[in-house]
Structure 1
Amino acid sequence: MTVVEIPQAPGPIEPSLRIRSTRVYRGPNVWSYEPAIHLVLDLGVLEYYPTHALPGFTEALVELFPGLQRHSCSRGREGGFIERLHEGTWLGHVAEHLALQLQQEAGHDVRRGKTRGVEDREGWYNVIFAFLDESVGLAAGELAVNIVNHLVQNNPEFDVEAELERFHNLVQRKAFGPSTQAIIEEAVSRDIPWTRLNGASLVQLGQGVHAQRIRATMTSRTPALAVDIAGDKNLTVKLLGSAGLPVPKSDVVRTMEGTVEAAKEIGFPVVVKPLDGNHGRGVCLNLQNEEDVREAYPIALAQSRRGVLQVESFVTGKDYRCLIIDGRMAAIAERVPAHVMGDGEHTVAELVDITNADPRRGYGHEKVLTRIKVDDAARELVEEQGYAMDAVPEAGVMVKLALTGNMSTGGISIDRTMDAHPDNVEIAEEAARLIGLDVAGIDFICPDITVPVRESGGAICEVNAAPGFRMHTHPTVGEPQFIAKPVVDLLFPPGTPSRVPIVAVTGTNGKTTTSRMLAHVMKGLGKKVGMTSTDGIIVDERLLITRDASGPKSAKMVLQNPRVDFAILEVARGGILREGLGYDRNDIAIVTNIQNDHLGMRGVKSLKDLADVKQVVVEAVPRDGFAVLNADDPYVRRMRHVCRGTIVWFSMDAPDSRVRQFIDERCVRGDRAVVLEPTEKGEMIVLKQGRRSMQLAWTHLLPSTFNGAARMNVANSLAAAGAAFAAGVPLHDIRQGLRTFTTSYYLSPGRLNRIEVDHAEVFVDYCHNPAGLDLLGEFVDRYVAGKNRAQRVRRTVVVGAAGDRRDQDIREMGELAAKWFDTVIIREDENLRRREVGEAARIIEEGARAVAADGGRATKIVTVLDELEATTKALDRARPNDVIVICADKHARVMATVEERTHLATPGAHTQEEQPGDPDFSPDERFASAEEDDAAAEAVTPNPADTQG
């Protein structure tokens, strides 16, 4: 046994455990493969008091929660956690186990958790634990912290029992009913995903086009008309009677006098009940005379939503519920009204208390049986049987406390599924078909279900839509029936899919373009693609929401859309850190690259940290799935170690490189690859599987690559092709998709969109980090060289940076702008992200001027904070053959501004002197060479290097 050494405490013991932050992960995340709650706990002075340094703490904790003795903890055996408590462990670890135990005692089978120290914060701990219901898990975490503090130092105002009762009441409010829970458990056993759509029992099973919904036992396939018919008891009786099925005589009434007259006409004894009631509420049975009917009238009327009652003949016999699913009998239960059995010792009231003490009984539908309620009606019924509540019934005597056998009024059930006569089963099935319900509860009253009702007497007294399953799944007597299976079979017949293919795309750069390329390929196959990206949510090429939709909530919206049969989800770092993935797994994961962006944010301090976050999508790949990984990136290459599925590599490296040798070795072992093969005619994209190679397309013939100059889009094409190949798309369709995908604003808004203004070429791109700007500058260099122009081409960039990036990253944007472009126009994002106005622009300018003074390309640097003004300035100074790159923040507005100039700038409409001017530049600057620019305050030393074709 290793006992933790007690550190020197700076002060006395205090209940100082505090929750500093709370986060809910609703899917795979950086801590766990499953949904989890993440608390950051501050131990305060308790950091210096592990459990063995707190006298009596462990004993008091175990006395309150003996279930902790079963926790294995890191020891891997039962009782391991108790050993840790005696040896000494910190209270954040205790809070983790206590949060799990509280949920387990509430009936939620959760076991996974971990506690890790927060880097650079002494006494702070990351506490992660699993949950089934989000609100219950959060309440468990908060209560666990409060209980730990209470055990450290007794708080007289903190009542543990009252807090536990409040917690269990919350669990009861949030829990599914037994019927819904049974269906969900069956769905989970078949790997059918489910999502709760509200705080009650509305649940979606499956995803996208395969989705089905249930509310309790009502399904997506339950006809609304059939529900209305079943809700009208009079109409139900008439329909069944017209088909020759045994039903009682009945009539519909609206007044007390009408009720009395109907009872006389039908003949006593009668039943009075609400026409549109349920759960047996307001049903008054065995009314022998006119006075009984008058007394029953207000009771039934109080439970009627429309003020309409039904009077019917009283059929004697036992109460049976026949459950019919998809036209077939699934289960039969005999319902016995709430009662107690005399023992010759206890009063009726004491017998009720003894019966209600059964742990199977609870309030409402929270448990398999409902507590017996003693009200005025129950007391009257007891008196009619010759007893009072304080009387002692003889041994073996049954005293009823309700007339109806509903489980919701405290009744019990006896399974009779195997006992029913085939004729009675046929009658029940025919009744369900006549009403039109896919799931129906047929209420039979007859002397014995084993004898045909046509011979013994009896009738169908009611047909119920959305019948409860509790009496069948948890009968008081007899074998439970697994009736959720035929319900799930009804919604998802064996062999039918419940999931849509999910492709998760992550990385620093290229995510959106790769997603759009793949979506274009799948669209060519006729797929209804649901896609999330930083631009919004798109379903079947229709933009539904415009916003940054790269998080888990957007993913859920796509997977709930009934048109989607293929999902492509862009997954950003922020969403993973904030809430996890939002779904349980993805069939294909694409990781484009890991570059310098978002460092220093939310604990991500290095490229390795960033890779650890983004590899969550690779960890979410199942064994029959695929991970499309960039072999050229060492951080992405390492992700192969966490992938359970097949890897599809893509690489831009030369055939004789070490990376390609690595890929060839992996392909022999079962991996796949998409690579480039140089030929005399250009680069060929080649798919490799095992030892086979298949030619796909020339890179220079793909419009998105601009004759091969846009190397980032060559890489994106490789990634998209690899994912399509993994999804089973034929090579011809992959080829056709890539050949027809362009970077027009309509197919790829904000991603290398080209437009010509006054014979100058303008590229609009959502470039927001140094790696992206470096690729963009390289593209311009290749693009200009490929044009083979005789005259010098001036290059202008409009550049900005997100204010939440590190100063060094913002400065690097300026450095790269000055490295690749002649003129740098610096703007700021609309959202300054907690920086002062002009602060980010100043840092960019510092970097640009430093590089320009050190021999960089830039000869002019201007700051224009407003994005549209900066765009206008860049366009105003353009001359024919110039290349202008606008790194846009709000690309839609920028494109609108550029498009407007294309209508104004008609060729030949202006002379040289009449061309639109820029007041911040000299009048002749449009047509001046870079060397002749006015050496104003913004000018810097020009670079003598001159790029020509």
Structure 2
Amino acid sequence: MTILETRVYRGANIWSYEQAIHLVVDLGRLEDHPTNTLPGFTEHLLEMLPGLTNHSCSRGRRGGFVERLNEGTWLGHVAEHCALALQQVVGHDIRRGKTRQVKGRTGVYNVVYGYADEQVGLAAGRLAVRLLNHLVQSDPEFDWEAELESFILRAERTAFGPSTQAILDEAVSRDIPWIRLNQYSLVQLGQGVHAKRIRATMTSATSAIAVDVASDKDLTTRLLGAAGLPVPKQESVRSVEGAVAAAKRIGFPVVVKPLDGNHGRGVCLDLRDEDAVREAYLVAKEQSRRGTVIVETFVTGKDYRCLIVDGRMVAIAERVPAHVVGDGTSNVEQLVELTNADPRRGVGHEKVLTRIKVDAGAKEVLAAQGHTLESVPDNGEMVKLALTGNMSTGGISIDRTFEAHPENVEIAEEAARMVGLDIAGIDFICPDITEPVRETGGAICEVNAAPGFRMHTHPTIGEPQFIAKPVVDMLFPPGAPSRIPIIAVTGTNGKTTTSRMVAHIFKGMGRKVGMTSTDGVVIDERLLIRADASGPRSAKMVLQNPRVDFAVFEVARGGILREGLGYERNDVAVVLNVQPDHLGLRGIDTVEQLADVKAVLVEAVPRDGHAVLNADDPLVREMRRRCSGQVVWFSMEEPGSPAREMIEAHCRRGGKALVLNPSDRGEMIVVKHGRREMQLAWTHLLPATFSGRARMNVQNALAAAAAAFAAGAPLHDIRQGLRTFSTNYYLAPGRLNEVDVNGVNVIVDYCHNAPGMKMLGDFVDRVGESLSHDLARPSRIGVIATAGDRRDEDMRELGDIASRHFDVVIVREDQNRRGRKAGEVAGLVVEGVKRGMVDGARCKQVEEVHDEIKAVRHAMARANVGDLVVFCVDKHPAVMAELENWSQQAYAGAGASPDAPTADPDYVPAETTSS
């Protein structure tokens, strides 16, 4: 079994509502060998992954998958369950998956399964395939135990720490979206202008100065002491002799620790003579980043950690240093092994407790108690292996949240306020936290920034405290928004123009709009990236921008198939149309399959969202069944048509729709909500419609208005947005840009497929009828092209349609031919033009000029005043620059440009056909 292809979906996709990994696997000869024909296969598999016994599979009950194994199922299906089981081994409770055979390919399967961490999910899929191959035919180089351990270590490296995970779990429970910003613990909660960032337990509201103060233990103690809070006496030193002198002044016993250490590293306690201070100084200095060491009074008592969030105490834990308890028969080393065998203990932060590590420091602590590793402690005797109670050194925690004396709580809260931390860990040393520390003795020995939550969320003894709740309350107070509205637009044609219309409407309302389209990423009308940005990564870029309070995404077929949507859901999904384009790519061979891809946006609409659907397109109409929210229809059909009858029935039930109502004065866009009708705008008064002649933009305006209406925009703002939006170079580059070049009417458009050419051709016919000239009938010249990844017949159809609307067709090629040979695409388009000419089409001449700029020059050189020239462009800025160059130069002689006397001097026609 081999993996042919791997895809990672980072949002809703054609297979799942949530993120998933997609493997295309080839079973090879194993297609003829289901699991019940492989001797011992099931037994060995369950032995290696016992968690598979809990999988229900399609049976809906525990053990259902084992039944399928015994009855006989194919190994692609088994790989899916193994990938899920491996993720469950490392604590990722993922249960979503499906396996389907690739249509028309025997033995090749689509294996799809969910994931929590992308790298872990990919590694699980690869290891699952290797394991199954090994079980079918033993591989002597495959060591399952070593491979599993390596997989677990990989998961540990990429996993969030317990503190970060606790905050994320709380955020998810409140429907707050999050984005991981790096491979560590930097995470964004919320979207756009509402976004907050956390790194472990530091937040975007955490003061950098407060963190610096907390890191300087000498400064912290002086600040707290000045506030009248109980703190030990201390001095900072930078030499061994200085440490000894400070210890004498303070008085033994003392504590020596690094000025700016953490996790208890380098802290030496209960030092009772000068020699002990000298040794401790070297240990502390090694852990001090600035080389400064603190000597302070040794305060006796128990070690307590008070957690303060937003100025309030939320949890208190008593920290007990790493230790073992004697049983009268086992030595210390055996007791450590027995303690570490506790399933709650792991390496680092892997589990709720950390394994006890017996190092040189532990042996010194043992020696101070009169023990070695071979000593056998008395039954019940507690033997310490560390002096500090940090969880990271193997300590345990006991919850004391509801036992603390109010005065001690007040002291801890005041300490956090003095330092200025929004989340602080206050380390108290006192005999008993239930008694006032000012009376019983004790002190605050440290204030910690970014305190760990593990001792509170998973105490060894006592009830866990849900401390992530106050953290998320602080970042997102009840009722505060965390999401920005998202309008997603898809369809075969018109996506970019509709997206720009929607963005223009909301920009007029004062919103900071982030928009993605095939032109690039635009933030508040600033083009940040010039590229095809209609995919999920661009959407993620917008959601991370702190200025954006409204998002409009153009969503293309390719991005959905490649990576999914890249976000969880969209408040409004707009589907304009589904036409045969880009078929034959990535397994999409029919227009019905293409509709399934577009429908992913509709499936991503929540219950309180809207799907704006074209009632005139049968494939789009069917998408209403996939929408969890409300449907808003738009239609260009006249009253009495089937589409309008459906809309009328929809509105009688309280639904919403936008339609065209014809009259003697023109067409009126009407908003229907229930039984109410509200007039919005005359289509001929909207600049983008060219007095109503550009029918594709009439449809786009309907869709944009419906989307804005569904998103809550007032009608007067929608009306104003449509009235001020025009298809000029600045608002809609490459979308029906009209230019007058020395009396020649020029239209620049991005049309690149047959359905688009039909709409463009209709526009050309309507505009052409309005053109007139005193000397002769104006000619229509079309410069056309298509992308190389279309089917041959699609290219021919493009040429055929163009031949019915233009007198002269000039066929060029894109700079990127997408795997085609030079001249191949143009040749196929020319075949279509000739086919139309044979059928009596309008076209009388077809020419090939492969280079785009040369094609522009050639078309302009042969155009006369009053003619209509339409450029279907690839590199829009270059074409507009060339047209600007022509418009600025006076014609010389018989209307020819100085740069091109009669036609481009380098132009040699590949073939010319005339009637």
Mapped partners of 1:241, 1:157: distance in 2: 64
Mapped partners of 1:583, 1:146: distance in 2: 32
Deviations 1:754-811 (A, max 9, x none): 1100111111111110111111111011122245766522111111111111111111
1:879 paired with 2:864, answer yes
* Code of the aligned partner of 1:938: T
SS of residue paired to 1:820: coil
Mapped partners of 1:38, 1:844: distance in 2: 36
Q: CA deviation at 1:690?
A: 1.0
Are the aligned partners of 1:552 and 1:583 in contact in 2 as well (CA < 8 Å)? yes
Are the aligned partners of 2:613 and 2:632 in contact in 1 as well (CA < 8 Å)? yes
Q: CA deviation at 1:914?
A: 6.5
Q: CA deviation at 1:854?
A: 2.7
Counterpart of 1:10?
none
Are the aligned partners of 2:315 and 2:401 in contact in 1 as well (CA < 8 Å)? yes
Counterpart of 1:899?
884
* Code of the aligned partner of 1:940: S
Q: TM-score, normalised by structure 1?
A: 0.95
Counterpart of 2:7?
23
Of residues 569-578 and 788-797 in structure 1, the stretch that sits farther from structure 2 once superposed is: 788-797
SS of residue paired to 1:273: strand
Counterpart of 1:780?
764
Are the aligned partners of 1:852 and 1:940 in contact in 2 as well (CA < 8 Å)? no
Q: CA deviation at 1:63?
A: 2.0
Structure 1 residue ranges, 4+ long, deviating more than 4 angstroms after superposition: 787-791, 913-923
Mapped partners of 1:105, 1:377: distance in 2: 34
Q: CA deviation at 1:153?
A: 2.1
Are the aligned partners of 2:857 and 2:904 in contact in 1 as well (CA < 8 Å)? no
The correspondence for 1:804, drawn from 767, 772, 789, is 789
1:109 paired with 2:93, answer yes
Describe the shift of the 1:102–1:189 C-alpha distance in structure 2 as closer, same or farther (beyond 3 A). same
* Code of the aligned partner of 2:837: A
Of residues 198-207 and 815-824 in structure 1, the stretch that sits farther from structure 2 once superposed is: 815-824
The correspondence for 2:675, drawn from 685, 691, 697, is 691
Counterpart of 1:851?
836
Q: How does 1:609-624 map to 2 (within 5 A)?
A: 609-624=593-608
Q: How does 1:573-652 map to 2 (within 5 A)?
A: 573-652=557-636
Counterpart of 1:820?
805
Counterpart of 1:366?
350
Q: CA deviation at 1:671?
A: 2.4
Mapped partners of 2:911, 2:136: distance in 1: 68
* Code of the aligned partner of 1:880: V
Counterpart of 1:528?
512
1:940 paired with 2:914, answer yes
* Code of the aligned partner of 1:480: P
Deviations 1:303-354 (A, max 9, x none): 1111111111111111000000000000000000000011101101100111
Mapped partners of 2:761, 2:777: distance in 1: 16
Counterpart of 1:426?
410
Describe the shift of the 1:304–1:917 C-alpha distance in structure 2 as closer, same or farther (beyond 3 A). closer
Q: CA deviation at 1:257?
A: 1.2
Mapped partners of 2:375, 2:338: distance in 1: 15
Are the aligned partners of 1:505 and 1:590 in contact in 2 as well (CA < 8 Å)? yes
Deviations 1:659-685 (A, max 9, x none): 100111112223211100001100000
Q: How does 1:68-217 map to 2 (within 5 A)?
A: 68-217=52-201
Mapped partners of 1:645, 1:588: distance in 2: 9
SS of residue paired to 1:344: coil
Are the aligned partners of 2:771 and 2:866 in contact in 1 as well (CA < 8 Å)? no
Q: CA deviation at 1:596?
A: 1.7
Q: CA deviation at 1:853?
A: 3.1
* Code of the aligned partner of 1:673: A
Q: CA deviation at 1:194?
A: 0.7
Are the aligned partners of 1:876 and 1:917 in contact in 2 as well (CA < 8 Å)? no
* Code of the aligned partner of 2:838: A
Are the aligned partners of 2:559 and 2:565 in contact in 1 as well (CA < 8 Å)? yes
Mapped partners of 2:80, 2:856: distance in 1: 54
Deviations 1:346-397 (A, max 9, x none): 1011001111111111111111111111011111111111111111100111
Mapped partners of 2:237, 2:847: distance in 1: 86
Mapped partners of 1:310, 1:914: distance in 2: 87
Q: How does 1:493-532 map to 2 (within 5 A)?
A: 493-532=477-516
Identity of aligned residues (%): 67
Mapped partners of 2:914, 2:367: distance in 1: 105
1:745 paired with 2:729, answer yes
Q: CA deviation at 1:922?
A: 12
Q: CA deviation at 1:910?
A: 5.0
Are the aligned partners of 1:558 and 1:564 in contact in 2 as well (CA < 8 Å)? yes
1:760 paired with 2:734, answer no
SS of residue paired to 2:165: helix
Counterpart of 1:548?
532
Counterpart of 2:285?
301
Counterpart of 1:5?
none
Are the aligned partners of 1:502 and 1:588 in contact in 2 as well (CA < 8 Å)? yes
Q: CA deviation at 1:919?
A: 5.9
Mapped partners of 1:939, 1:296: distance in 2: 95
Counterpart of 2:50?
66
Mapped partners of 2:182, 2:585: distance in 1: 34
Unaligned runs of 5+ in 1: 1-16, 924-934, 942-949
Q: TM-score, normalised by structure 2?
A: 0.98
Q: CA deviation at 1:267?
A: 1.0
* Code of the aligned partner of 1:299: V
Describe the shift of the 1:863–1:397 C-alpha distance in structure 2 as closer, same or farther (beyond 3 A). same
1:831 paired with 2:805, answer no
Mapped partners of 2:244, 2:863: distance in 1: 94
Are the aligned partners of 1:405 and 1:411 in contact in 2 as well (CA < 8 Å)? yes
Are the aligned partners of 2:259 and 2:293 in contact in 1 as well (CA < 8 Å)? yes
Q: CA deviation at 1:850?
A: 2.2
Q: CA deviation at 1:473?
A: 0.3
Are the aligned partners of 1:202 and 1:216 in contact in 2 as well (CA < 8 Å)? yes
Deviations 1:389-447 (A, max 9, x none): 11110011110000001111110000000000000000000000010000000000011
Counterpart of 1:946?
none
Q: CA deviation at 1:918?
A: 5.3
Q: How does 1:339-418 map to 2 (within 5 A)?
A: 339-418=323-402
Counterpart of 1:228?
212
Mapped partners of 2:29, 2:531: distance in 1: 44
Unaligned runs of 5+ in 2: none
Deviations 1:236-274 (A, max 9, x none): 000000010000111111111111111111111111111
Are the aligned partners of 1:194 and 1:204 in contact in 2 as well (CA < 8 Å)? yes
Counterpart of 2:703?
719
Mapped partners of 1:660, 1:753: distance in 2: 32
* Code of the aligned partner of 2:465: Q
Mapped partners of 2:894, 2:353: distance in 1: 91
Q: CA deviation at 1:43?
A: 0.6
Are the aligned partners of 2:896 and 2:902 in contact in 1 as well (CA < 8 Å)? no
SS of residue paired to 2:247: helix
Are the aligned partners of 1:849 and 1:940 in contact in 2 as well (CA < 8 Å)? no
The correspondence for 2:712, drawn from 707, 722, 728, is 728
Of residues 150-159 and 609-618 in structure 1, the stretch that sits farther from structure 2 once superposed is: 150-159
* Code of the aligned partner of 2:459: P
* Code of the aligned partner of 1:878: A
Are the aligned partners of 2:861 and 2:901 in contact in 1 as well (CA < 8 Å)? no
SS of residue paired to 2:804: helix
1:463 paired with 2:447, answer yes
1:450 paired with 2:424, answer no
SS of residue paired to 2:533: coil
Mapped partners of 1:554, 1:915: distance in 2: 42
Mapped partners of 2:692, 2:77: distance in 1: 55
Are the aligned partners of 1:758 and 1:879 in contact in 2 as well (CA < 8 Å)? no
* Code of the aligned partner of 2:657: A
